Amino acid sequence: MAELFNYACVDGVGIVTIDAPPVNTLGAATRAAVMQAMQLAWADDAAQAIIIACAGRTFFAGADIAEFATGHFADPDFITLFDAIENGPKPVIAAIHGTALGGGLELALHCHYRLAVPSAKLGLPEVNLGILPGAGGTQRLPRLVGVPVALDLITSGKPIKAAQALELGILDRLATEGQLQADALAFAKELIASGATAPRVRDRDDKIAPYRGKPEVFDAFRAQNARAFKGFKAPEAIIKAVQAAVESPNFDEGSKREQALFLELMNSPESKAQRHVFFAQRMTAKVPDVPADTPTRDLKRIGVIGAGTMGGGIAMNFLNIGLPVTLVELKQDALDRGVGVIRKNYENSAAKGRMTEAQVEQRMGLITPAIGLEALADVDLVIEAVFESMAVKQDVFTKLDAICKPGAILASNTSFLDLNEIAAVTKRPQDVIGLHFFSPANVMPLLEIVRGAKTDKSVLASALNIAKAIGKTPVVAGVCHGFIANRAMEPYMAEAEALVLEGASVLDIDRVIRDYGFAMGPFQMLDLIGLDVIGRDSTRKTVMSELVKRDRLGQKKNGGYYDYDAERKATLSPVALEVIAELAAEKGVAQRSFSDEELLGRLLYPVVNEGAKILEEKIASRPSDIDVALIMGYNWPVYRGGPMFWADLTGLPKIVAALRGFEATYGARYAPAALLVQLADAGKGFGSL
Ligand code: CAA
């Protein structure tokens, strides 16, 4: 344990430094180290005040999230440790750098004074894990910042910068960047000299008193955020805990309420799912046969082919991090339009105060618009976002092979095509990779990295690096039709179409999917993205292709499955109902009604089944990669943990039995994957892989 902390007394100040890499999480060993170091400081007669600081890249990053799965906290638990600090005999100063998050900030709130360097960030991100700050955060933060700000900070989970924390009263002062230790020491000496006491946040009442007996403040907050909070358990529990801070007859009663609400959340499926996602997101960049020390290529100049919606969005990712982009089109008017759209996007951001005019100009200045692929001779990475056709892509890659410098990475943004066939037209298939962005490419957080049969490991490692640099979560996929996210969701869209022909209502399907937690159902989504995007090229006669034939393209033109009024309010379209009835009659599909449970199983179990096939074929390295791909690429509700995690919670035998039932009624396409059956028979889940 000794190496986890250091204690020294300097000029009458006891300095406790915790060193638990990588991010000083407050796991059991770290808590014990803090306790031990504090006991030394309390016992040290020379120390009249105490500083708690951390070594390494950050102040405490909070509880060790893995410890939640054990269901309890080993001694010393958070409350025991933090209460000891707060009630200790000497004033304690938290000296913060990096990020003080969750339990880390709560520890600081139990200290008597807080200072931080300007680059530090402070926050209570527990809501993102489906829990609440259960170590006193919901009781103490409102006492420093008042109810509205506390509700906002805790339910959003967003960290704030040190300057704002100072303004809000969370910090007592800012230290000079790079001089935290010296400034903390000077602060401590000042406190000692002035005979300062050890004020406890828990004793403050001034900021919460105005909200006592005002339940309407909490109700209004609930109502304002109803949409964002829908389906999540934690935000409501947070509101209740903060209300308890205000309304309880004394501090300890409020704390008890916080504890009870915390325990309820910790054991909820929603929190288990969100904790799974936390670790899953950090796993995706780890590719089993590509070690962290794999050499990478320097990507300083980027080329993007195609200035349409996709190409423009892709380009913005690189402009945002200061990399110059050569943007290529075939014709001047398309190029001008594309550059114009990028400018408009940035100007919209500037109008909303998210960037300055100077930043808009700086980003626009990084674009080199060009006609013709020859302009890409000296880029380090080129990404094509041209028409989704093998012939067109192969033509582009043949030309790139002749034009681009040796060592350049040649990437395709294809969403379905065989990357190996694209790579095969070049003499450098090792340099070819798929970088599949999701639309809108400047917003969606997922980047599917498609690894061809011959893709070099250094190319893959470089792609993982650039994903991180542009703030995307990478998921690595092997080559197959649709890769991970699109492939796994294909059965879902197919089921929605099949179900309406069998008599299920469009309204019920969309509602069941919304109740599950998606922002919208499949038909609402199709109407939003435009039916022509998929339906125009459909080789089969489907409800969608028939609607497109009638020039119903969704929200953008004439409505689709729904009709839209001037306020975009949707009502089920009689035309769509007619098309469905005609097609069902033509295909001779028997009509019946469906329970909600049956609808959900028909829509989502095939996704789980496809996920199992994706694993069998080693297209994804691990089940959690599929979860991340669907959460970040298709907005699968995060509190369900993604399809594979949800399948484990549902029980694989139940899913296998349902799929077998569908298979008996509707045919072989529902046959459960061998891996799914094998796991179910063994009483295991995808998590065991
Ligand atoms: N528990 C367990 N492991 C954690 C962790 C935590 N709280 N925070 C980070 N880690 C692990 C990561 O999984 C990662 O592990 P690997 O290297 O094995 O993948 C490693 O630490 C480094 O993390 P990042 O890759 O995320 O590093 P970063 O520099 O990009 O970000 C960070 C650092 C901002 C601190 C980020 O890790 C983070 O946001 N961590 C979570 C913070 C959080 O949610 N804290 C609240 C915890 S709940 C709580 O505290 C409850 C309470 O009320 C007591």
321-339 pLDDT, tens digit per residue, is: 999 999 999 999 999 999 9
pLDDT digits (tens, 9 = 90+) for 355-409: 999 999 999 999 999 999 999 999 999 999 998 899 999 999 999 999 999 999 9
CA 100, CA 123: separation in Å to the nearest integer? 6
Torsion of CA 351, 356, 362, 367, to 10 degrees: -20
From atom 33 of ligand 1, which residue's Cα is the shortest distance away? 23
Q: Compute the average pLDDT of residues 227-253.
A: 96
Residue 680 has pLDDT above 70, yes or no: yes
CATH class of 302-481: alpha beta
Mean pLDDT of the 21-30 span = 96
Tell me the mean pLDDT in the region 595-602.
97
- Specify the DSSP class assigned to residue 381: E
Distance 107 CA to ligand 1 centre (A): 16
Helix extents (H) in 352-380: 357-364
Which comes out higher in pLDDT, residue 640 or 3?
A: 640
Burial of residue 566, with CB atoms counted within 10 A of its CB: 0-12 exposed, 13-18 middle, 19 or more buried: exposed
Beta-strand pair 5-10/13-18: antiparallel
State yes or no: pLDDT of 201 exceeds 90. yes
Catalytic positions, please? Answer: 106, 126
2-266 belongs to which homologous superfamily?
Answer: 2-enoyl-CoA Hydratase; Chain A, domain 1 (3.90.226.10)
Confidence of residue 586 (pLDDT cuts 50, 70, 90): very high
Q: Which of 34, 64, 65, 127 to mutate to test the pocket of ligand 1 (most atoms within 8 A of CB)?
A: 65
Q: Where are the domains of the chain?
A: 2-266, 302-481, 486-587
The per-residue pLDDT for 532 is 83
Q: What is the mean pLDDT of the chain?
A: 96
Atom 25 of ligand 1, nearest CA residue: 282
What band does 538 get if pLDDT is binned at 50, 70 and 90? low
SS (H, E, C) 113-173: EEEECCCCEEECHHHHHCCCCCCCHHHHHHHHHCHHHHHHHHHHCCCEEHHHHHHHCCCCE
- Res 530: pLDDT: 87
Rounded to the nearest angstrom, the distance between the alpha carbon of 328 and the centre of ligand 1 is 40
pLDDT at residue 529, rounded to an integer: 86
* Residue 105 per-residue DSSP state: H
Confidence of residue 537 (pLDDT cuts 50, 70, 90): low
Ligand 1 atom index nearest CA of 132: 53
Q: How confident is the model at residue 70 (pLDDT cuts 50, 70, 90)?
A: confident
In ligand 1, the atom with minimum distance to the C-alpha of 157 is 44
- Residue nearest atom 24 of ligand 1, based on CA coordinates: 282
Under a CB-based contact definition with an 8 Å cutoff, are residues 321 and 470 in contact?
yes
CB atoms within 10 A of CB 49: 25
From CA 406, how far away is CA 484, in angstroms rounded? 30
What is each CA distance from 590 to 11, 542, 545, 601, in whole angstroms?
86, 16, 21, 19
pLDDT above 50 for 479: yes
CA–CA distance, 255 with 245 (Å, rounded to integer):
8
Q: Report d(CA 640, CA 496) in Å as an integer.
A: 20
What six digits make up the tokens of 652?
Answer: 């694989």
Residue 61 Cα to ligand 1 midpoint, Å, equals 6
- Answer whether 484 contacts ligand 1 (Cβ < 6 A): no
Strand partners, 13: 10, 49
Q: Is the CB of 123 under 6 A from ligand 1?
A: no
Q: What is the mean pLDDT of residues 96-117?
A: 98
* pLDDT above 50: residue 1: no
| DSSP category for residue 287 | B
Ligand 1 center to 411 CA (angstroms):
32
Least confident of 90-94, 432-436, 526-530: 526-530
- Say what the alpha-carbon torsion angle 638, 644, 649, 655 is, to the nearest 10 degrees: 130
List pLDDT tens digits, range 287-333: 999 999 999 999 999 999 999 999 999 999 999 999 999 999 999 99
Atom of ligand 1 nearest to the CA of 137: 53
Q: Assess whether pLDDT exceeds 70 at residue 165.
A: yes
Average pLDDT of the segment spanning 113-124: 98
State how far the Cα of 412 lies from the Cα of 683, in Å rounded to an integer: 41
Res 478 pLDDT > 50: yes
pLDDT band at 69 (very low <50, low <70, confident <90, very high): confident
pLDDT tier at 471 (50, 70, 90 boundaries)? very high
- The CATH class that applies to domain 486-587 reads mainly alpha
| Whether the predicted pLDDT of 643 surpasses 80 | yes
Confirm or reject: Cβ of 274 under 6 Å from ligand 1.
no
Amino acid symbol at 312: G
Banded pLDDT at 535 (limits 50, 70, 90): low
pLDDT in tens, 501-510: 999 999 999 9
